Amino acid sequence: MTSTFRIVTRKILGIMLIILLSIFTCLIILLIVLQFYSLGEAIPFTDKTGNEIKESISEKIFVNINGVEQGMFIKGKDKSNPVLLFVHGGPGMPEYAISRKYPVVLENLFTVCWWEQRGAGLSYSPDINPDELTFEQLIDDVIGVTKYLRKRFGQDRIYLMAHSGGTFIGIQAAEKAPDLYKAYIAVAQISNQLESEKLAYHYMVEQYTQTSNKKMLRKFEKYPINQLNTPSYYAMRDAPMHQLGVGTTREMKSVFSGIFMPVMLNKEYTLKEKINIWLGKFFTTNKVGLWNKLVMTDLTQKVKKLDIPMFFIHGIYDYTVSYPLAKVYFENLQAPGKGFYTFEQSAHSPLFEETEKMQHTLQEILIKTNKKINTTIKINKNQ
């Protein structure tokens, strides 16, 4: 028995050693691949011959904004175009990190600042005091970045675009400092996010009830309707939203393939910066609790008037941020000029889903706000 036991033990240990070596080898290969896709430098715009476009700009920079070094990409095919500050959503999810996967039209029409907010992505630091990361601070940071861009590019007013969670601070910055902006452009504008979550909750339960998906229904049963402001529910609802085609995009069925992998394969970030994207996402959502504060605030009561033109862009299949609630908010919100654009093939991200329509919409907005543009610009899907 002793001899047999020793033989079996050796075989088990041998198998375990092989497994460990295999895992180690796979990890080394993975790190090599990730390092190859983590050069960490801004990629320039090039013409058909591969030469850099002289009028273009492609920078990855860090600027001191309100006492904190904050990272951003500045991109545009013509530096003389109007400047646009893009306020990403999340909270804490820089969208430039995934925008390289999709055809992007902003840089055809604007010089775009893809700012990564305090505590997120390039601007993440383990030294940030959670007590100092508030929405009030983020609003001041929007204004701080705006002032930097105005001075840098010599433009008295710039365009402010926000998406999803970014609209929560974007619209408040536009209200607070209207003299800095030519117009406010919202993609998936938040209104009353708690009511939006309730509408989405009921929709998803109804859809899974119709298909008798008991496994998914059990997940929803863990969250009573009065607990939709918790980070755990926020994390849970991602998968069913994408399965039903009402999440980030209509076509995105997996957060892993649609968000995680594009981030990890974006060559303009270092590997450390990519890790910081996920650390920042966890930090802002869980440790700081920005998600809870966002959900519990009714913007329709907080911001009722803007002193600049405003434009709402919304996907009709969007249940991440309610389309009907955004439309009602738009109708009641006072502004000197406004427009609402429905994207009928989009869920939460028309910017990535219907790019040709997005370009035409933005051209129309530029014309309405008295900016001359080249209307013959084509979308380069390879850029």
**Tokens standing for 304?**
């009722």
Model confidence pLDDT, tens digit, residues 18-29: 666 666 555 555
Residue 243's alpha-carbon distances to 196, 207, 246, 255, in angstroms, are 18, 11, 8, 10
Q: Does this model's pTM top 0.85?
A: yes
Instruction: Tell me which residue of 313, 304, 327 sits closest to 174, measured CA to CA.
Output: 304
Decide if 352 contacts 106 (C-beta within 8 A).
no
Decide if 217 contacts 321 (C-beta within 8 A).
no
pLDDT at 368: 92
In single-letter form, the type of residue at position 135 comes to F
Determine what percent of the chain is predicted with pLDDT higher than 70. 87
pLDDT at 316: 97
Give the Cα separation of 172 and 142 in Å (integer). Answer: 10
3-state SS, residue 311? strand
pLDDT over 80 at 3, yes or no? no
Per DSSP, 204 falls in state: H
Per-residue DSSP letters for 313-334?
EEETT-TTTTHHHHHHHHHH-B
Give the Cα separation of 339 and 346 in Å (integer). Answer: 18
**Tokens standing for 264?**
């990890």
Model confidence pLDDT, tens digit, residues 54-106: 899 999 999 999 999 999 999 999 999 999 999 999 888 999 999 888 877 99
Model confidence pLDDT, tens digit, residues 217-252: 999 988 888 777 777 888 888 899 999 999 999 999
**Tokens standing for 344?**
């009928």
Model confidence pLDDT, tens digit, residues 299-316: 999 999 999 999 999 999
Instruction: Tell me which residue of 174, 287, 308, 180 sits closest to 231, measured CA to CA.
Output: 287
pLDDT at 50: 84
In single-letter form, the type of residue at position 144 comes to G
> Which residues are registered as beta bridge partners of 160?
85, 184
pLDDT confidence of 359, banded at 50, 70, 90? very high
> Which residues are registered as beta bridge partners of 158?
181
Q: Compute the mean pLDDT over every residue in the chain, rounded to the nearest whole number.
A: 88
Instruction: Tell me which residue of 135, 87, 144, 83 sits closest to 114, measured CA to CA.
Output: 87
pLDDT over 90 at 283, yes or no? no
pLDDT at 271: 93
Q: Where are the alpha helices (H) located in the chain, listed in sequence order?
A: 2-36, 96-99, 106-109, 135-153, 165-176, 193-210, 214-221, 231-236, 238-243, 255, 261-264, 271-282, 290-295, 299-302, 323-332, 350-353, 355-368
Residue 7's alpha-carbon distances to 4, 15, 16, 18, 19, in angstroms, are 5, 12, 14, 17, 18
> Residue 84: enclosing H or E segment and its boundaries?
strand 83-87
What is the mean predicted confidence (pLDDT) over 353-378?
78
Residues 6+ apart with CB under 8 A from 110: 76, 81, 82, 83, 84, 159, 362
Look at 35 and 58; give whichever has higher pLDDT: 58
Look at 288 and 337; give whichever has higher pLDDT: 337
> Which residues are registered as beta bridge partners of 332?
none
Residue 120's alpha-carbon distances to 32, 35, 132, 192, 235, in angstroms, are 25, 21, 14, 24, 17
Give the Cα separation of 204 and 237 in Å (integer). Answer: 9
pLDDT confidence of 206, banded at 50, 70, 90? very high
Edge-to-edge strand ranges of the sheet holding 310-315:
57-65, 68-76, 111-115, 83-87, 158-163, 181-187, 310-315, 338-343
What is the mean predicted confidence (pLDDT) over 18-45?
64
Decide if 150 contacts 156 (C-beta within 8 A).
yes
pLDDT over 60 at 352, yes or no? yes
Instruction: Tell me which residue of 165, 184, 166, 182 sits closest to 174, measured CA to CA.
Output: 184
pLDDT at 8: 64
Look at 318 and 34; give whichever has higher pLDDT: 318
